[in-house]
Amino acid sequence: MKTGHRRMPDDDPLCCCEYISELGERSHILACLCDCEALDTAFDRLFTCRRVPAPYWSRIKATAMDRIRVPWLGGAKRVELDLVSPIILLPTVLLLACHSWTMLMITFSVLPFALYFIHRRCSSSRTRTKFFLSWTVTSLVVLLGVFQLEVVPYLEILFSENTVLMLAVAFTCLCAYQVHSCPPDLVATGVTLEAGKSVEACSVNVPYSETEDAKCSVCQVVQPPRCSHCHLCGRCFLKRDHHCVWLDTCIGEKNHRAFILGLLGLVVSLIYGANLTLTTVCRPKMLWDTFLIPDNCFEVYEDIHISLCFVSAVYALLVSIPVALMLFQQLWLVAINTTIYEMRRHKIGVVQ
């Protein structure tokens, strides 16, 4: 006998704790562990020391993702773990690093490898996830929150300095919004290699050459020159550079300029904000009688608020390193008129 699942008339409204499952059945969030045959079979096999086949784990994961919900008006809403997990993980990592220098070294040494491992797993399985986009937004909110709520109240930051930083952050956010909301031009879908097909029906604002055309093995569309398929987006894009997991969108001809400007604004924001924070919580000194830089930070762990500011600044500096490397790589590729995709396919050089 099934428990927790029942079919109801369509006109019967859902309460805040009910939802329609992926099987089309009406269910309740309190029945999250009921009627999961894959879970029952997996436990039976584990208790009898037998191997659990991989399909069972996939079914358990899909069922769990569908049943993890929170009460909401009009029906329980599903909690997307890839969106929620960075909101929990990043503050936890920063708080752990606030305890001591040892924890700072451990957490910030493990964090890059953990993110790289998650990225490799998603790339190898060609799984599109919102985890890295959520991590980007969470990092922005946390760093800005710490700066405005913890660093600025020390009254060491000038109004002009705070204004410059906020303008740089706003510029970066504007560029990121343009990159995310304006993906590169798509190749028209549903267009196949047919006799007499016009060039305009196969491409968008890109010169077409009959001697250079190709057919995408996935989309089954005619690809104009310098066009490639993104397995995460499931579409073909013109002059595609790469799929940016941190913004969850492809970078191509249409949004490439905004992407580079966003990288520049992000590097400036991270380094400038980190310097303002470190010169506030550490003992500063003048460099060349012009720049104020941190000198002695050995006393930052005497107070949790100061250590939180210090850890956030260190995190910002660590993030600025790969961002700066990406910026330099993009500028170099623009200088030689090529893309990351073409570079990986050993097409380094000037592309006509």
Q: Mind listing the pLDDT tens digit for each residue in 247-275?
A: 888 888 888 899 999 999 999 999 999 99
Q: What is the SS3 assignment for 250?
A: strand
Model pLDDT for residues 147-179, shown as the tens digit of each residue: 999 999 888 888 999 999 999 999 999 999 998
Decide: residue 339, CB within 10 A, 0-12 exposed, 13-18 middle, 19+ buried.
buried
Q: What's the pLDDT score for residue 39?
A: 60
Domain ranges of the chain: 18-79, 82-183+253-350
Phi, psi values for residue 69, rounded to 5°: -140, 165
Looking at residue 207, its pLDDT comes to 37
Question: Residue 126 in 3-state DSSP?
Answer: coil
Q: Report the predicted TM-score, pTM, of the whole model to 2 decimal places.
A: 0.75
Q: Which residues of 142-153 are buried (b: 16+ CB within 10 A; e: fewer)?
A: bbbebbeebbbe
Residue 121, pLDDT > 70, answer: yes
Residue 295 is inside which H or E element, if any?
strand 291-296
Q: Which amino acid is at 203?
A: S
Q: What's the rounded Cα separation, in Å, for the pair 279 and 58? A: 50
Share of the chain above pLDDT 90, in %: 33
Across 63-217, the runs of DSSP E, i.e. the strands, are: 69-70, 77-78, 214-215
Which uninterrupted H or E stretch holds 244? strand 242-244
> 307 is written with which tokens?
């250590």
